[in-house]
A and B are shown apart, each in its own frame.
Chain A
Amino acid sequence: MACLIKIKILFFISIILLPASLSALEVVEVKSPGGIKAYLSEDHSNPLIALSIQFRGGSSSDSTRKIGISQMVSGLLDEGAGEFDSFSFRSKLENLSIRLSFDSSVDFFSGQMETLTENAEEAFNLLSLSLKSPRFDAEPIERIRRQILVSILRESESPNRIASKVMFSKLFPEHPYGFPRNGTKKTINNITREDLVNFVNTRFAKDRLIIGVAGDITPEELEKVLDKTFGFLPDTLSSDWLKESVKPKFFGTVVIDKDIPQSTLYLAKEGISRNNKDWYAALLANHIFGGGSFTSRLMKEVRVKNGLAYSVSSALFPFVASDLLVASAGTRNTSAKKSLEIIIDEWSKFGASGPTDFEVQEAKKYLKGSWPLRFTSTQSIARTLVSIQRDNLGINYIKLRNNYIDSVNLQDIRRVAKDLYDINKLSIVVVGKPEGIENKEYDG
Chain B
Amino acid sequence: MRLNYPLCLFTATIYMAFLLFTNIDAKSSVFGAESSVLRNGMRVVVVSNHRVPIASHMVWYNVGSADEGLGESGIAHFLEHLMFKGTKSYPSGQISEIVARNGGNQNAFTSYDYTAYYQNIPVEKLPKMMELEADRMQNLVLLRSDVDTERQVVLEERRMRVDSQPSSILSERLNFSLWGTNHYSIPVIGWREEIEKLSYEQIFNFYNRWYTPSNATLVVVGDITFNSVVPMAEKYYGKIKFDKNFIPRSRSSFLLQSSDIRVTMRDEKVRQPRWQRTYIAPSVNIGSLSDVYSLQVLSEILGSSSISRLYQSLVVNDSLATSIYSGYLDAAVSWGRFVIYASPSPGVSISELETKIDEQLNLIVNEGVTEEEVEVSKMRLKSEIIYAKDSPMQVAQTIGSLLSVGMSLEDIESWPNRISEVRVDQVNEIARRIFTESASATGILLPKGDD
Contacts and interface: CB of A to CB of B under 8 A. Distances in A.
Interface of A: 1-4, 7, 10, 13, 15-22, 24-25, 43, 45-48, 86-87, 90-91, 94-97, 99, 114, 116, 139, 142-143, 146-147, 149-150, 153-154, 156-157, 159, 258-262, 292-295, 300, 303-311, 330-332, 362, 365-366, 368-373, 375-379
Contact of B120 (A147, A362, A373): A373
Contacts, number: 224
Interface of B: 34-39, 49-54, 84, 93, 96-97, 99-106, 120-127, 148-157, 159-160, 163-164, 166, 223-224, 228, 230-232, 234-235, 238, 268-272, 305-307, 312, 315-316, 319, 322-323, 343, 345-346, 376, 379-380, 383-384, 386-387, 389-394, 409
Contacts of A86: 316
Contacts of A95: 376, 379-380
24 contacts: A4-B230, A17-B123, A18-B124, A19-B124, A20-B124, A48-B386, A48-B387, A86-B316, A91-B307, A94-B305, A116-B383, A116-B386, A150-B272, A153-B271, A262-B163, A294-B96, A307-B153, A309-B153, A332-B155, A365-B103, A369-B102, A369-B104, A370-B103, A378-B390
B163 A261 contact: yes
A45 B50 CA distance: 8
B389 A87 contact: no
Contacts of A48: 386-387, 390
Contact of B384 (A97, A307, A365): A97
Nearest to A287: B100
B124 A303 contact: no
B77 to A, nearest CB: 12
Contacts of B386: 46-48, 97, 116
B96 A295 contact: yes
Contacts of A375: 51-52
Given A17-B124, A366-B100, A369-B125, A94 B84 contact: no
A307 B159 contact: no
A94 B307 contact: yes
A284 B270 CA distance: 41
A295 B103 CA distance: 12
Contact of A262 (B164, B224, B316, B376): B164
3 nearest A-B pairs in the assembled complex, by CB-CB distance: A369-B103, A307-B152, A20-B53
A372 B376 contact: no
B272 A10 contact: no
A15 B124 contact: no
Contacts of B376: 95
B307 A310 contact: no
Contact of A304 (B149, B156, B305): B149
Contacts of A17: 123-124, 126-127, 224, 228
Contacts of B394: 377
Contact of A305 (B38, B106, B149): B149
Given A262-B160, A369-B125, 9 more contacts: A2-B35, A4-B238, A17-B123, A20-B54, A146-B345, A307-B150, A366-B103, A368-B103, A377-B391
B159 A332 contact: yes
B93 A304 contact: yes
B156 to A, nearest CB: 4
A157 B271 contact: yes
A304 to B, nearest CB: 6
Nearest to B394: A377
B347 to A, nearest CB: 10
A373 B142 CA distance: 31
A311 B100 contact: no
A339 to B, nearest CB: 10
Nearest to B384: A97
A4 B229 CA distance: 12
A372 B234 contact: no
A4 B235 CA distance: 12
A146 B380 contact: no
A304 B1 CA distance: 12
Given A4-B36, A306-B149, A142 B164 contact: no
Given A15-B228, A294-B106, A370-B104, A146 B122 contact: no
B103 A371 contact: yes
Nearest to B39: A4
A4 B37 CA distance: 7
Nearest to A330: B160
Contacts of A294: 84, 96, 99-100, 106
B433 to A, nearest CB: 27
B408 to A, nearest CB: 10
A87 B307 contact: yes
B164 A159 contact: yes
Interface centre among A4, A86, A149, A260 (most CB of B within 10 A): A4
B159 to A, nearest CB: 4
B375 to A, nearest CB: 11
B36 A3 contact: yes
Contacts of B224: 17
B231 to A, nearest CB: 4
B97 A90 contact: no
Contacts of A373: 54, 103, 105, 120-122
B52 A25 contact: yes
Contacts of A139: 316
A114 B387 contact: yes
A154 B271 CA distance: 7
Contacts of A15: 127, 228, 231-232, 235
Given A2-B36, A97-B383, A372-B54, A310 B153 contact: yes
Contacts of B50: 24, 45
A308 B36 contact: no
Contacts of B52: 20, 22, 24-25, 372, 375-376
Contacts of B322: 143, 146-147, 150
Contacts of A293: 105
A116 B153 CA distance: 44
Contacts of A94: 305-307, 380
